[in-house]
Amino acid sequence: MNSVRAIGFISTMSIMLINMVQLPIFMLQRPIFYKHKAQRFYRVSSYVVAHCVVNLPQTLIEATAYTVGVYFLAGLSTRGNGGPFFQYLLLLFLVAYFGSSIFFFLSAISTIPEIGNALSGLVVSIFLLFSGFVIYPSNVPYYWKWLVQANPIHWANVLYCKLQFENNYQDPCSSFQSQLAICAQFPHMTVGKAYLKYYQLSKDAENPWLPYVVLIGSIFIANFLGLLGLKNIEFPGTSQSLPSIRSSPTISNYKEDIETEFQSVESHNEQTNSFEASQYSEQQRSGKIRDNVGVEKWIEEFRVDMERNGLGIPVEPITLLFENLSFVRYDEDMKDGTSFFSNITGYARPRNMLALMGGSKGSNSTLLKCLAGRAPSMGSLKGILQAKSWDKGPAYSRLIGYVEKLDAHQPYLSVRETLHFSAALRLSQAVSSVNRCIHVELVLDQLDLLPYSNQLVRSLRDATGKTFEIAKKITIAVELAANPSILFLEEPVSGLDSRGTSNILNILSQVSNSGRVIIASLAHPNARTLDFFDLALILTHEGQQAYFGPIGPDCSDLLDYFLSVPKVPNYSIRASPVGFVMATLGLGIKRTAKPSINFAGAYQASSLHEMNSREIFSIKSLTEDRNYIVSSSVYPAPYTLQAMMVLLRTQRFLWRNIQYTYSRLIGCIMIGLLMGSLYWKIEYTDIYGLTSRFCYIYMQVVIIGVISANNVIPQIGTDRLVYFREKRAGMYHPIFYPLSWALGEIPYFFIATLAVVGIGNGMAGIGTGSIREFLMYWTMLFVFTIGVTYFGMMITILAPVPTLAAFAVSIVTSWWVSAAGVVILLSNIRFYRWMYWSNPFQYAISMMTSISFYCNTKECVSDCSCPKLPDGSYVWDRLASLRSLSYDSIGKDMVILSAMPLLFACLASLFFVVLKHNSPPQT
């Protein structure tokens, strides 16, 4: 009968935990709702009502699947023509819908997923603690009784017990007085009613309609609160790993100091050279901090001085050569493959900027990846690609920097720390730490990032209009920190306004003038953008080479070439040169028919192609006469340095992530206070007190375990974008990423579990009999918490998306909680006993119970101090026989429990390295 009652509690708890996966989905939908709300597409109430209606069939399917899977396998009541079955289905439907409504409300008031997970864990804990199952109503302190009566999960369990015991157990108790304790106490009742009376449920079960009223009313309240939250609260939807700008007193003061310094320089120039002063003043008023005469010239002179004195890092000038490059992609459902481009030939010299344009969707970006040695894995690249005498490989990858279109960075590192991380792992170990620091400062200065250098990346957020510009500058700076000779950029001005575009291109021009090659893919550039570039490589719609050559002032050289091609339409002086060229190729913004002119053939027959061929021949003759020393190692930094830097970065992430780290600590303190006040000094005066004290351990393990397993999911899910960028850059071995998370979590859970045990157990008087008992109890909970956290980490790495990981973790933890041997005893667990023996919850609960309740009753005499129950039996003997406990097995169980974190961490590392979805996508 206890197992039947436990099924009701497990069902409501599992349904609540499974619905927790909806929280991140609701939060992903929130930015779209904010956008529609700002444009007044609809009322907030219309959105909430639509959400409630759409959620009905999904919840019904969920409740039906759970009911069919549990009801008949558990052998629940089938009397009354199936009435209890349908009432059980309706009950689970209402509980599931209530859980979904609660998480919808929490998604409306949570700033980020970490806060939402913490709040949801706390709310679910309150519902389960005050459900009336894990503590008897008579043991609930008077100041918490109102919460039991207001808890819809409590009323759901009451209704379930009424349906099962009143209908299915109608035999008179007089026939079982010697067999059932409940019948000995209530001999004139039926077995079912005696059970409800014994377990203090009969009074609440008198009104069969009241649970439905409470559940439906709670659903309306939760959705109404969600409506108020969406209507009155709005949070920015920026991802943690995508930087944006926030006005800061530090930045403002820095700018004021810079302006004061410039005014002093201007006054000095007025005394020495009035012309230079007026020129400098004019540029300063136009918004440019730098110019070729003033500060920029001084910085360049400083850099040259550093190089002469051996303190700077010189740029190695390298010419990139590529001949007859062709790429064909093979999809699983295609035999012949798709050609992205074919027979592409060209070069890029130091101090030159090359623009890649045209082609079909993805052609020029794929060409950029291939030139950078990042050819997509599901394809075949043919042709010659050389920088100096090096082909693709580790040596070539160290020559290049690749600025991706997505500006993903570690949110809890400062801008300076982000650059130092890149420089430490990608620069040669021959570079001293002093030189590396000077190099980072020069890069910060070159990209105008010094005002923001000490700001955390995630703190640079505000609607100042420079969000994307600063993000792009940080991405470029991270690559320049590696001192590349060739810098590739994916659409570097995409999403920028005209001023931001001009600033970024000015910076790229300065980078090019320092002796580097700049190669960028551009989508629909204008003439002003192309003026910054020296060369252009344009593809036709079929991926063939239509042009490679100089651009010229105002795109004059580019325009003259295409006008020289026969049958090209006349050029209107009002038209944009770039727009005219792209429209002629059929690649304009407006869709046009494919051109009848063979531009690839025209280029092959042109004098420009002949001139380029001679230039390529001269480049090849120069590189063949040189010999270079190439390191054969895959990574520039040794493995010890990689491990140290990645671990340090992860520690900074955890230490500075207040929403995650400190919310865990505060959450553990609140859980300790809540459970301690609920189980305040419950004595062993009867079986109710013993059961309540034992359920304290069970609920403590369940709450801490479920919250810990779920909280780590959004962290790794958010940080994965940053890892992908670093993996493509070849910064460190992938194994160090999961290991850094595994080691980084240890000190925080060490403190968090100490808080929950010290506060909660101290108030409840459980596991505090001696210092040794307290330390053993704390150690068990700490090891268990680390284990389930590593399990959540492993599932997150195993799953391709965080949402799927959250769903899987909810399912598995529900199974573990059900098969822990508490609500369903080991003797009643049948075909899934393997889940009991492989269950970290079971081992933690068994050891912590043995530590808290053990007393050596075998050596007891008449004045034995071991606690007894009113019937004279010892507490420990009753628990040991009922829960299959053994104090002598603590050592063995501790070894098994300690092995689980190691197993989960090793599997997480293995999955991270082996699984395909953890490899960064190339297209």
DSSP structure string for 150-184: T-HHHHHHHHHHHHHHHHH--SBGGGSTTT-HHHH
How confident is the model over 559-579, as a mean pLDDT? Answer: 86
Instruction: List, edge to edge, every strand of the sheet that includes 535-539.
Output: 400-403, 486-490, 517-521, 353-358, 535-539, 545-550
Question: Is 461 within 8 Å of 238 (Cβ atoms)?
Answer: yes
Position 326 pLDDT exceeds 70: yes
592 and 663 in a single domain? The answer is no
How confident is the model over 27-47, as a mean pLDDT? Answer: 89
State the alpha helices, DSSP H only, in 432-576: 433-446, 467-480, 498-513, 527-530, 556-564
Give me the pLDDT at residue 354, please.
Answer: 94
User: Binning pLDDT at 50, 70 and 90, where does residue 259 land?
Assistant: very low
Position 279 pLDDT exceeds 90: no
Single out the residue in 570, 593, 624 at which a domain terminates.
624
Give me the pLDDT at residue 645, please.
Answer: 93
Position 394 pLDDT exceeds 50: yes
| Pairing between β-strand 545-550 and β-strand 535-539 as defined by DSSP bridges | antiparallel
Reported as a single tens digit per residue, the pLDDT across 416-441 is 999 999 999 998 888 888 888 999 99
Which range, 253-257, 290-294, 507-511, has the best average confidence (pLDDT)? 507-511
Q: How far apart are CA 172 and CA 797, in angstroms?
A: 56
Give me the pLDDT at residue 923, please.
Answer: 45
Higher pLDDT, 332 or 902: 902
- % of the chain residues with pLDDT over 90: 24
3-state DSSP percent of the chain in helix, strand and coil, to 5:
60, 5, 30
Position 722 pLDDT exceeds 90: no
Give me the pLDDT at residue 237, please.
Answer: 52
605 and 702 in a single domain? The answer is no
Give me the pLDDT at residue 228, please.
Answer: 93
Q: How far apart are CA 510 and CA 297, in angstroms?
A: 11
Structural domains counted in the chain:
3
Give me the pLDDT at residue 269, please.
Answer: 43
Give me the pLDDT at residue 361, please.
Answer: 74
Instruction: For residue 350, give the 3-state DSSP assignment.
Output: coil
Reported as a single tens digit per residue, the pLDDT across 495-553 is 888 888 899 999 999 999 988 999 999 988 888 899 999 999 999 888 899 999 999 88
Give me the pLDDT at residue 591, please.
Answer: 56
CA atoms within 13 A on the CB side of 267: 5
Higher pLDDT, 918 or 602: 602
Single out the residue in 186, 213, 237 at which a domain terminates.
237
Position 268 pLDDT exceeds 50: no
User: Could you tell me if residue 437 is inside a domain?
Assistant: yes
User: Binning pLDDT at 50, 70 and 90, where does residue 255 land?
Assistant: very low
Give me the pLDDT at residue 573, please.
Answer: 78
User: Could you tell me if residue 311 is inside a domain?
Assistant: no
Give me the pLDDT at residue 311, please.
Answer: 52
User: Binning pLDDT at 50, 70 and 90, where does residue 264 land?
Assistant: very low
Higher pLDDT, 54 or 913: 54
211 and 84 in a single domain? The answer is yes
User: Binning pLDDT at 50, 70 and 90, where does residue 477 land?
Assistant: very high
How confident is the model over 350-368, as a mean pLDDT? Answer: 88
User: Could you tell me if residue 683 is inside a domain?
Assistant: yes
The encoded tokens of residue 730 equal 């070849």
Position 857 pLDDT exceeds 80: no
Enter the pTM of the model.
0.78
Work out the burial of residue 50: count CB atoms within 10 Å of its CB; fewer than 13 is exposed, 13-18 middle, 19 or more buried: exposed
- C-alpha dihedral sign at 37, 807, 786, 134: positive
Picking from 412, 715, 357, the residue whose alpha carbon sits closest to that of residue 547 is 357
User: Could you tell me if residue 506 is inside a domain?
Assistant: yes
Q: Is 248 left (phi over 0), alpha (psi -120 to 50) or beta?
A: beta
Give me the pLDDT at residue 275, please.
Answer: 35
Reported as a single tens digit per residue, the pLDDT across 864-882 is 777 787 777 788 888 888 7
108 and 185 in a single domain? The answer is yes
State the alpha helices, DSSP H only, in 556-638: 556-564, 577-584, 599-604, 607-624
206 and 154 in a single domain? The answer is yes
Q: Is 594 left (phi over 0), alpha (psi -120 to 50) or beta?
A: beta
Position 12 pLDDT exceeds 60: yes
- % of the chain residues with pLDDT over 70: 83
614 and 760 in a single domain? The answer is no
User: Binning pLDDT at 50, 70 and 90, where does residue 6 land?
Assistant: confident
Single out the residue in 206, 237, 268 at which a domain terminates.
237
Supply the CATH number for residue 424's domain.
3.40.50.300
How confident is the model over 451-480, as a mean pLDDT? Answer: 79
Which range, 144-153, 315-324, 478-487, has the best average confidence (pLDDT)? 478-487
User: Could you tell me if residue 599 is inside a domain?
Assistant: yes
Position 207 pLDDT exceeds 90: no
Angle between helices 840-853 and 771-798 (to 10 degrees): 170
Least confident of 44-58, 198-212, 535-549, 891-905: 198-212
Position 79 pLDDT exceeds 80: no
Give me the pLDDT at residue 885, please.
Answer: 83
User: Could you tell me if residue 635 is inside a domain?
Assistant: no
Position 60 pLDDT exceeds 60: yes
Domain ranges, residue 432: 320-624
Picking from 782, 777, 724, the residue whose alpha carbon sits closest to that of residue 749 is 782
Give me the pLDDT at residue 623, please.
Answer: 59
User: Could you tell me if residue 197 is inside a domain?
Assistant: yes
Q: How far apart are CA 714 and CA 89, in angstroms?
A: 32
User: Binning pLDDT at 50, 70 and 90, where does residue 297 land?
Assistant: low
Higher pLDDT, 360 or 448: 448
Report the 10 Å Cβ neighbour count for 838: 13
| Pairing between β-strand 353-358 and β-strand 535-539 as defined by DSSP bridges | parallel
531 and 650 in a single domain? The answer is no
Position 723 pLDDT exceeds 50: yes
Intra-chain end-to-end CA distance of the chain, in Å: 58
Which range, 205-219, 630-644, 682-696, has the best average confidence (pLDDT)? 205-219
Higher pLDDT, 660 or 212: 212
Picking from 920, 914, 842, 919, the residue whose alpha carbon sits closest to that of residue 885 is 842
Reported as a single tens digit per residue, the pLDDT across 755-811 is 999 999 899 888 888 899 999 999 999 999 999 999 999 998 888 888 888 888 888
State the Cα angle at 452 between 450 and 453, rounded to 5°.
60
Position 230 pLDDT exceeds 60: yes
Question: Is 855 within 8 Å of 879 (Cβ atoms)?
Answer: no
Q: How far apart are CA 488 and CA 632, in angstroms?
A: 23
Picking from 509, 460, 469, 511, the residue whose alpha carbon sits closest to that of residue 493 is 469
User: Binning pLDDT at 50, 70 and 90, where does residue 48 land?
Assistant: very high
553 and 649 in a single domain? The answer is no
Which range, 82-96, 840-854, 875-889, has the best average confidence (pLDDT)? 840-854
708 and 617 in a single domain? The answer is no
Q: How far apart are CA 436 and CA 421, in angstroms?
A: 11
697 and 734 in a single domain? The answer is yes
Mean predicted lDDT score pLDDT of the chain: 81
Instruction: For residue 294, give the 3-state DSSP assignment.
Output: coil
Position 630 pLDDT exceeds 60: no
User: Could you tell me if residue 547 is inside a domain?
Assistant: yes
Position 454 pLDDT exceeds 70: yes
DSSP 406: S
716 and 822 in a single domain? The answer is yes
Position 863 pLDDT exceeds 70: no
For the chain, give the longest Cα–Cα distance. 115
615 and 711 in a single domain? The answer is no
